[in-house]
Structure 1
Amino acid sequence: MRARRTDPGRRDRILDVTLDLIAEVGVAGVSHRRIAARADVPLGSMTYHFEGMDDLLHAAFTRFADRGGERFAQRLGAARDRPEAVTAVVDLVHELSDPRTDAERVVMYELYTLAARDPRYRTITTAWMARSRRELGRHFAPDVTRRLDALVEGLSLHRALDEDPFDRTLTEDAVRRLVGDA
């Protein structure tokens, strides 16, 4: 009898490679074959771990959103008071729009596009936004957290896609005005 090869990290590797490929070629360019080749796994293991491409994409985007939520939790959890929380929010805007995070941003936009069309993916973005607001709620009033969460997304998007991105001063001023610290 042939020994069975074990690869306990295979599912995780497939998910990570899926996210990398989405960043490179978009959801439309991702296939089981490309993922398996890049992850160095047998093509058959794709259907062993995931029911189909939709299941794989859903799991990959859920992982991505969880990581984004962790970033919020770390940044806002480290803030000891409201001024540090304002700084953490400004830092998040600039991290999310930094050219070094282009791959993450592309994955985020791909998720938003799917969520705009498919309620199943909208559950991922809804959970992500709820978590962001919970983390913001550590330091800001509930009526402020929803607006602040939207401001973070909007400022990040504008800063990332503008050919002449604004600086931290504008971001900090916008955050302070919204939270009532202007």
Structure 2
Amino acid sequence: MPPTEAAPDARTRRHDPGRRDRIIEACIEVIAEDGVDGTSHRRVAAQAGVPLGSMTYHFTGRDELLREAFTRFATAMSERFAARLGQVEPGDREGGAQAVVDIILRDVFPDRRELVLTHELYTLAARDPAYRDLTNAWMRRSRAALERCFDPATARIVDALIEGMTIHRALDTQPHDDADVELAVRRITAA
């Protein structure tokens, strides 16, 4: 009988150090496509290209997976926000105002995916204090970035303006005028 290669032991796990991260990224994509209600371990595993058993190996349940995915999303959004404001010298109100205009026009909700993800997170936060903690951490990071250029009270107001204007611009069926954004930011940030 010719020598044959030994079959791999079925109990041996394949080393895949990036699997957990892929699952989290896949979860973000599934939420963007199907919403939180359409997000299941089966759908996420299929999106990530991992066995279904990997889901329970890496996460205690769907809620932990959702929190991890939304934490990653919120952190990425606040890092983009901070990066834009980080290009401005501390205390430069004019530069800060222009950065806020750019955030509204270019950085927040550049596509439908981020709009859906943000609103899915807001819906969870309205119902569940754990998600509210996540959105509050996101707001604190945003305000800290704004405080590079504005006093704390102005930073809070500007943060709310960014939120409101981006939502209105994303959901309004009428065309928007970018000059309105510039006007609103300048009025609020005027010394």
TM-score range, shorter chain: over 0.9
Alpha-carbon distance change, 97 to 167 in structure 1, aligned in 2, over 3 angstroms: farther
Deviations 1:32-67 (A, max 9, x none): 001101101111110111100000000100000000
Q: Contact 1:89–1:152 at 8 Å: present in 2 too?
A: yes
- Which residue number in structure 2 is paired with residue 92 of structure 1? 103
Within-5 A mapping of 1:6-155: 6-80=15-89, 81-96=92-107, 100-155=110-165
TM-aligned CA deviation for residue 179 of structure 1: 1.1
Q: CA RMSD in A?
A: 1.4
Q: Structure 2, unaligned stretches of length 5 or more?
A: 1-7
| Secondary structure, counterpart of 2:86 in structure 1 | helix
Contact 2:41–2:62 (CA<8 Å) still a contact in 1? yes
Map Cα deviations across residues 113-151 of structure 1 (whole Å, 9 max, x no partner): 000000010010000001000000000011101110000
Worse-superposed segment, 146-155 or 164-173: 164-173
Q: Distance in 2 between matches of 1:88 and 1:75?
A: 6
Distance, in Å, in 2 between the alignment partners of 1:138 and 1:30 is 38
Distance 1:122 1:158 in 2: 22
Normalized per residue, which structure has more helix? 1
CA distance in 2, matches of 1:51, 1:162: 39
- The CA deviation string for residues 64-111 of structure 1, in whole angstroms up to 9 with x for no partner, is 00001101110000123322211111111112565x421011000000
For 1:165 and 1:46, locate their aligned partners in 2 and report how far apart those are by CA, in whole Å.
43
Report which stretch shifted further, 80-89 or 126-135: 80-89
Q: Distance in 1 between matches of 2:94 and 2:70?
A: 32
Cα deviation, residue 26, structure 1? 0.3
Name the % identity: 55
TM, length-normalised to structure 2: 0.90
Task: Tell me the distance in 2 between the aligned counterparts of 1:85 and 1:102.
Answer: 26
- The normalised TM-score by structure 1 is 0.94
Count residues in correspondence: 180
Cα pair distance change 1:154/1:165, threshold 3 Å: farther
CA positional deviation for 1:4: 3.0
- Rg comparison, structure with higher value: 2
Deviations 1:7-39 (A, max 9, x none): 111111111111111111100001100110110
